[in-house]
Amino acid sequence: MEHLMTKYIQKSFFDNKVLPLLSFLYTDTMYGNNFDYYRIKDILDQYDPKQIECKQWAVDEIQKYVMHRDMVVVIGGWYGLMSHMLAESLPDNLIVDYEIDAICVELHDKLKVHENISILYEDGFQIFDSVEHNGVDKVIIFTACEHIDEEDLYGALSMKNPKSTILLQSNNMSHIDSHVNCHESLDHFIESLPNMNILYKGVKKFDDYERYMVIAR
């Protein structure tokens, strides 16, 4: 597990970034009205060992396909774990993190430690239907396919620049209400996607669920 010891799970990072942010959120819920209590659990969930392991899996595999100076786009960056781990492994690449939750963007910015991350309060799926964005070759990462309707995801991916590489993750945790696009197997996940050249496919098995990952072009 030594390769997982990035800035995002070391004690110094928790002491200097995570714990002050949790204290800030707690104080705000007592005396302000900008944040809800559940954000505290959200932040802790981001650093769950399984979350970190799955994100590190993505970083380890996608960096094999990232060229020097490629732009790397993260769709739905949440509180920034994926982007920060990418920035640490790819210091010469610009990491662009799209997130539609304004509070996630604000809290991500408070956790940020790398200068090669750009955080945007925008819908990341716009890159597929915009000539300006889709015309640029890039590496795209979306690790929350289970949260997007299958038909909507298929439609967006169908418009992807064929020269752009994309990493996708989903799982079989259909019992969670917010999971609207789960799959019973890796093959089932791949069948739900548009026809693409599969560069990598794999399964990460845990005691209570499976996570699927595909890298394609």
pLDDT tens, 128-144? 876 566 666 789 999 99
* Closest-CA residue to 3 (of 59, 44, 84): 59
Which domain range does residue 202 map to? 48-216
Q: Is residue 43 part of a domain?
A: no
Adjacency order of strands within the sheet including 72-75: 117-120, 95-98, 72-75, 139-142, 165-171, 210-216, 198-205
* Domain-embedded: residue 169: yes
Q: Helices 102-111 and 19-31 sit at what angle, rounded to 10 degrees?
A: 140
Q: With pLDDT > 90 as the criterion, what percentage of the chain qualifies?
A: 67
* pLDDT tens-digit map of 60-116: 999 999 998 889 999 999 999 999 999 999 999 999 999 999 999 999 999 998 999
Tens of pLDDT, residue by residue over 160-169, are: 888 899 999 9
Q: Which positions ≥6 away from 8 have C-beta within 8 Å?
A: 47, 52, 81, 84, 85, 88
- pLDDT above 90 for 17: no
DSSP state of 214: E
Q: What is the pLDDT of residues 102-118, one digit of tens each?
A: 999 999 999 998 999 99
pLDDT at 81: 93
Exposed e or buried b per residue across 140-167, where buried means at least 16 C-beta atoms within 10 angstroms of its C-beta? bbbbbbbbbebeebeebbeebbeebbbb
Is 133 within 8 Å of 106 (Cβ atoms)? Answer: no
Q: What is the pLDDT of residue 35?
A: 79
Q: Residue 4 pLDDT > 50, yes or no?
A: no
Under the banding of pLDDT at 50, 70 and 90, the label for residue 1 is: very low
Identify whether 22 is part of a domain.
no
**3-class DSSP state for residue 212?**
strand
Q: How, if at all, do strands 198-205 and 210-216 pair?
A: antiparallel
Query: Has residue 83 been placed in a domain?
Result: yes
Total domain count, the chain: 1
Structural domain includes residue 42: no
Check residue 59 and give its pLDDT.
96
Surface-to-core class of residue 183, CB atoms within 10 Å of its CB (0-12 exposed, 13-18 middle, 19+ buried): buried
Q: What is the largest CA-CA distance in the chain?
A: 53
Q: What is the rounded CA–CA span in Å between residue 73 and residue 186? A: 23
pLDDT at 135: 61
CATH number of the domain within which 158 lies: 3.40.50.150
DSSP alpha helix (H) spans, the chain = 11-13, 19-31, 38-46, 49-62, 81-89, 102-111, 131-134, 150-158, 186-191
Note whether residue 209 is domain-resident. yes
Is residue 11 in a domain? no
pLDDT grade for 40, boundaries at 50, 70 and 90: confident
pLDDT attached to residue 7:
54
Q: Is residue 203 part of a domain?
A: yes
